[in-house]
């Protein structure tokens, strides 16, 4: 009978040891998961800039061509005496540029944002959207066939766009995204 009692106590001890081992293993698994999540390497601004430069490279040819076409369309409009067909061609050119600008902004917005520069990147993307909006507004005005080269709208639009481009270029340089700089 003494041996049965020892086996009963030994069985209970083994049960308790097994339970503690299982509990500790579970806690170790949870701790490992927390460490993996918290200890995960954060996406860096350098990685963001590399991906942003790649997005710019992918769109570079289209944006350069469309920017040239849009600006040329205003010269053609003035040289042609402000004909309806020239207004519509200019509006189409500015819409195409605006669309490509928005596409580039969208592609850059899909890139994981480093927490350390979230505000800077948000400001950049908003500035890029503002340029696209400005170009779209010019297209709409051209479509209405009411503006001429000396109109106040064109002068104001040119000044606003130059201001926005300067701000975006500054933000791009700060974030080390050199492949998107205007006029480069």
Token couple for 182: 């205007």
SS3 167: helix
- Cβ pair 73, 94 in contact under 8 A: yes
For residue range 111-170, list pLDDT tens digits in order.
999 999 999 999 999 999 999 999 999 999 999 988 876 778 888 888 999 999 999 999
pLDDT at 155: 83
Cα dihedral: 130, 133, 135, 140 (round 10): -160
Please compute, for residue 170, the number of CA atoms within 13 A of its CA located in the half-sphere on the CB side: 9
Token couple for 123: 């400001």
- Cβ pair 37, 159 in contact under 8 A: no
Q: Render the burial of 48-70: b for 16+ CB within 10 Å, e for the rest.
A: bbebbbebbeebeebbeebbebb
Residue that is written with structure tokens 């340029």 in the block: 131
Q: 48-52, 93-97, 142-146, 175-179: which has the minimum mean pLDDT?
A: 142-146
Domain range summary for the chain, segments of one domain joined by +: 1-40, 45-180
- Of 111, 107, 165, 112, the C-alpha closest to 134 is 165
For residue range 32-71, list pLDDT tens digits in order.
667 666 655 588 999 999 999 999 999 999 999 999 999 9
């Amino acid at each position: 009978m003494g041996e049965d009692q020892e086996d009963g106590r030994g069985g209970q001890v083994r049960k308790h040891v097994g339970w503690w081992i299982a509990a500790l293993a579970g806690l170790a698994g949870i701790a490992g998961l927390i460490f993996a999540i918290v200890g995960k390497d954060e996406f860096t601004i350098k990685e963001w800039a590399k991906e942003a430069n790649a997005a710019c490279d992918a769109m570079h040819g289209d944006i350069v061509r469309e920017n040239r076409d849009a600006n040329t369309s205003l010269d053609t409009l003035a040289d042609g005496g402000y004909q309806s067909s020239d207004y519509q061609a200019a509006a189409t050119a500015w819409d195409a540029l605006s669309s490509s600008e928005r596409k580039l902004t969208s592609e850059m917005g899909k890139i994981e944002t480093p927490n350390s520069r979230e505000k800077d990147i948000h400001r950049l993307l908003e500035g890029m959207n503002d340029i696209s909006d400005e170009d779209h507004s010019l297209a709409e005005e051209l479509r209405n066939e009411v503006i001429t080269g000396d109109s106040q709208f064109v002068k104001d639009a040119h000044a606003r766009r130059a201001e926005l481009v300067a701000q975006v270029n500054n933000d791009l340089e700060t974030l080390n995204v050199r492949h998107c700089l205007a006029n480069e």
